[in-house]
Amino acid sequence: MDLVSVNLTVEEAEILIVCNESSIDQAFLLFGSFFLLFLIVGMIVMQAGIISAKNVSYMLFENMTKVLVASVTFFIVGYAFAFGDSSFFLGASNFFLVEEDRCRYGFFFLQSLVTVFATVIWSGATASRMSMKGFIISTVVFAGFIYPVSVHWLWHEEGWLNKGDRNGRFDDRGGVGVHLVSGACALAGVYVIGPRRFRFRQGMLVDIKPHSLPLVLLGGFFAFIGLMALNTVANRDTFVDTTGGEGRAIVNAVAGTFIAATGGGLTVPVMRFFQTRRVRLQDIVYGLLVGCVAISGDAQDSELWAALLIGCIAGALQHFASRFVRNRQLDDACDVVSIHLVGALWGLIAHPLLKQDTGIVYSWSSEAFGDLGWHIAGGLSLCAWSFLLSWLMFVVIKKKKILRVEYDAEAAGLDGFFHGEYAYVSLESRNTKAKPANSIL
């Protein structure tokens, strides 16, 4: 539009430019948020492919229920605790979004999807053994309190992690906090709930192979696409500025995430080959995901060579962490701890090390080392908060004897026991004598 031809004043032209920029911001925010749906669906499909075929319907039902419960819980109280005005620790206003500007509804939509994603992550760790009452209650507590409080610390202007960083915001526009909090919850969950039946016999690991590698690959690739979107739009509500800085940051975040993911995707199967002289398809998927996780806090600030290095190191750490968890007889069904918790912890360290121009690699200064110390302290604080609260939550549910499904249900398969239907018709014909549950709850 030619501003002169319509006789606009300078003030009117400035207002028009601001309105146009705001409209573009909202459109980009919603567009990126829609891609997060691919992330959520990808995680659900990947988890369904990893577990046993006899539990697929139950797993899909569990995750879809979590999507709905987490969304409603975040709308009622979670958003208020995360972004409401109050103190350095916790928000306490804007419940039900009654005071929220409608122009911020797009931001709420984004944060709701991120909350759902964080909730779906840790369900993969406790797959095939958590009861319906258990996962519904734990979802309400996690999406309504544990996760929103950590978000308030990280991204609210009054949050203590946000205000206390001398060299910029902690995890600025990154998603490391999402993976860190969810990964710590997953660790607490597998510790309290215990391993699946027959996972360990006489102290020896019994390998439970994925029932559908095509689902693992398809879901993992959808998750990979969604994680690139998450690293682009996470905690961001401004995408347009007059200097072009936001555009450069977005492009750098996408490219950095892609390169880090490829580095992780190559490293994990290579590590497996040196250990067993074999490679697995799911190792490539795990490598892609852990690379995206590790770069999520530094995607817009890293040079591409640094992104590749971050991804490769993340892949190696995932391989060793997965072995460590299994050796401790912790049954993490979908390697959530090694991918999300370990990958996020490495990402927090990598950010102050390799951040372009100001990282320790570039600037051997007290400010750079102070930034590293602050990220380590913040990461440990988030881990402690999420692990301890999640551990307490799972222990209380376990004391009520509603955390885990019955032995008969787990042995026979949760699909037939609770739903009376199977994901695959062939299983239904084999399990016609499965005893139905008296109550799905």
Tell me the sheet residues that pair with 205. 200
Averaged over 323-342, what is the pLDDT? 95
Averaged over 360-379, what is the pLDDT? 87
Calculate the average pLDDT of the chain: 87
Name the 3-class secondary structure at 201: strand
> CA-to-CA distance for 276 and 390, rounded, in angstroms?
35
Name the 3-class secondary structure at 284: helix
Q: What is the pLDDT of residue 3?
A: 45
> CA-to-CA distance for 40 and 46, rounded, in angstroms?
10
Tell me the sheet residues that pair with 204. 201
Q: What is the pLDDT of residue 135?
A: 96
Task: Report the range of poorest mean pLDDT among 62-71, 228-237, 249-258.
Answer: 228-237
| C-alpha distances out from residue 275 to 189, 317, 320, Å | 29, 14, 11
Longest Cα separation, the chain: 84
If one counts every other C-beta atom within 10 angstroms of the C-beta of residue 125, the result is: 30
In which band, very low, low, confident or very high, does the pLDDT at 139 lie, cut at 50, 70 and 90?
very high
Name the percent of the chain lying above pLDDT 70.
Answer: 87
Residues 6+ apart with CB under 8 A from 435: 408, 412, 417
Tell me the sheet residues that pair with 86. 91
C-beta separation of 349 from 170 below 8 A: no
243 pLDDT above the threshold of 70: no
12 pLDDT above the threshold of 70: no
Question: Which contacts qualify for 403-410: CB closer than 8 Å, 24 or more apart?
Answer: 403/130, 403/131, 403/134, 403/192, 403/193, 404/129, 404/130, 404/131, 404/134, 404/193, 404/194, 405/129, 405/130, 405/131, 406/437, 407/197, 408/435, 409/437, 410/128, 410/129, 410/196, 410/197
> CA-to-CA distance for 55 and 334, rounded, in angstroms?
14
Q: What is the pLDDT of residue 157?
A: 82
> CA-to-CA distance for 116 and 72, rounded, in angstroms?
10
